[in-house]
Amino acid sequence: MINIRWFRPLPLSLVIAVAVAPRLQSEAAAPETPLPTASEVEDRCTSYIRDHLQSGFVRLRLAHMLPANGRSEFRYEMTFAGERLRRDWWWNREFGDGEWRGPQKLIITETEYIEVNGPGVSTTAAPVSDYDGPEGVRRQFGAFDPPLLGTNVSGLATWETEGQLLHRADRNNPTVSEESLDGLHTFRVNYVLERGSDVTVWYAPEQGYGVIAAEMKTKSPRGVALPSIRIERKQYPAGGVWYPLKMVIQHRMDGQLLEDRLVTVEDAKFGPVDEAAFTFARLGLQPGEQVLDRRNGPQVGAIWDGEKLLDSSVSRAGESSGTSPWPKRAIWILNAVVLMCLAIYFVRRAIIGRRGKT
């Protein structure tokens, strides 16, 4: 028989330690999830853009907020599909008041571009080879790429390499850390450019790895320049795509605010677009408007007839049908009148000559 007097209750602390020890050991053995590299974070950002923002329509407004910048506004409507882009824009409206001027229109395709400058100025159509391809045309005319909105510290200037944030070939020592910003979990990427600028970019994994903030600090003999951008993103109904809703773009020099711009996205839709948006037929040209066309060689004058372009000389002279613009009967009558006048002239000369001899 077992003598129970020899058993004593175990201390409570010992009981807890025995129960918890296996769990602590398993947690200690679990390795921490490593942070992604800077390139991996940027790859996730660009993959989201590639998979969700290849075509669509964006309407936005850009406002210069400082009186020194004129407090003017610009409005853009952009239709895009791959390399094709249609931009309609209005400008020079006083902030919150006044009349819009424009629109000016620009179409860029894989092979050509069309520029509509408004009443009194001829529309131009030319090959994109003028500027080494569609990207060069965008740079020449300052046409930003809607899918890349928010990836450049310069704001709308997505073609501008100086403020580019992703995949910089001229950077050194990129690092990644985790940080909460505006209540969002973010990956904070830091790197130094070869020219000496310190760059910090915050990416939000919950919002398609989109950029929600960035700054680029550059020291020079003139002072410390600090361009920055803050982005509020929205999940738009069409496909649940994350895209900027508002962007605040600022530039400071030694702490003084030199530039303050606000971009407000008023509408955004993503998915297939009407291909006719990239054609002459949708530009709203009036019949009779002149077009300078050099898409197929030397420049020729053309006239928009409401449905298609016509060579202006052909449209004036009727040469396209191989006929003269004058009716044949009118030509015969004109020739008869001329011959009659010549006959009268020579008869009168003959009569006058005879009288002179007598």
85 vs 159: CA distance, rounded Å: 14
The three-state secondary structure class of 172 is: strand
Q: Beta strands 123-127 and 290-293: pairing type?
A: parallel
Tokens of 71: 């407090």
Q: Length of the chain in residues, anyone? A: 358
62 vs 144: CA distance, rounded Å: 13
Query: Which residues, 6+ apart, have CB-to-CB distance to 165 below 8 Å?
Result: 151, 152, 153, 199, 201, 211, 214
Cα–Cα distances (Å) from 123 to 178, 286, 309, in that order, read 52, 11, 12
pLDDT digits (tens, 9 = 90+) for 99-151: 888 899 999 999 999 999 877 788 999 999 999 999 999 999 999 999 999 99
Longest dimension (CA), the chain: 182
**Model pTM?**
0.77
pLDDT digits (tens, 9 = 90+) for 56-104: 999 999 998 887 767 789 999 999 999 999 999 998 777 666 788 889 9
What is the model's pLDDT at position 119? 74
Q: What is the DSSP letter of 239?
A: G
Query: Which residues, 6+ apart, have CB-to-CB distance to 194 below 8 Å?
Result: 170, 171, 172
What is the model's pLDDT at position 261? 94
Tokens of 3: 């003598």
pLDDT class of 299 with cuts at 50, 70, 90: confident
Interval 228-250 mean pLDDT: 94
pLDDT class of 325 with cuts at 50, 70, 90: very low
Evaluate if residue 15 carries a pLDDT over 50: no
Given a contact cutoff of 8 angstroms between Cβ atoms, the answer to whether 201 and 195 are in contact is no
pLDDT digits (tens, 9 = 90+) for 19-53: 545 554 544 545 678 999 999 999 999 999 999 99
Evaluate if residue 223 carries a pLDDT over 90: yes
Given a contact cutoff of 8 angstroms between Cβ atoms, the answer to whether 138 and 128 are in contact is no
Interval 178-206 mean pLDDT: 96
Given a contact cutoff of 8 angstroms between Cβ atoms, the answer to whether 155 and 142 are in contact is no
pLDDT digits (tens, 9 = 90+) for 329-339: 444 455 666 56
Residue spans of beta strands (DSSP E) within the chain: 55-64, 72-81, 84-94, 101-108, 112-116, 123-127, 171-181, 184-193, 198-204, 210-220, 223-236, 241-253, 256-270, 290-293, 300-304, 309-311
Evaluate if residue 348 carries a pLDDT over 80: no
Least confident of 14-23, 29-38, 161-170, 284-293: 14-23
What is the model's pLDDT at position 18? 43
Q: Beta strands 171-181 and 55-64: pairing type?
A: unpaired
**Burial letters 8-23, b for 16+ CB under 10 A, else e:** eeeeeeeeeeeeeeee
DSSP 52-107: H-SEEEEEEEEEE-SGGGT-EEEEEEEEEETTEEEEEEEEEEETTSS--EEEEEEE
What is the model's pLDDT at position 349? 58
What is the model's pLDDT at position 107? 97
- As a whole-number percent, the residues of the chain with pLDDT over 90 amount to 59
Domains observed in the chain: 38-273 (2.50.20)
201 vs 86: CA distance, rounded Å: 30
What is the model's pLDDT at position 154? 87
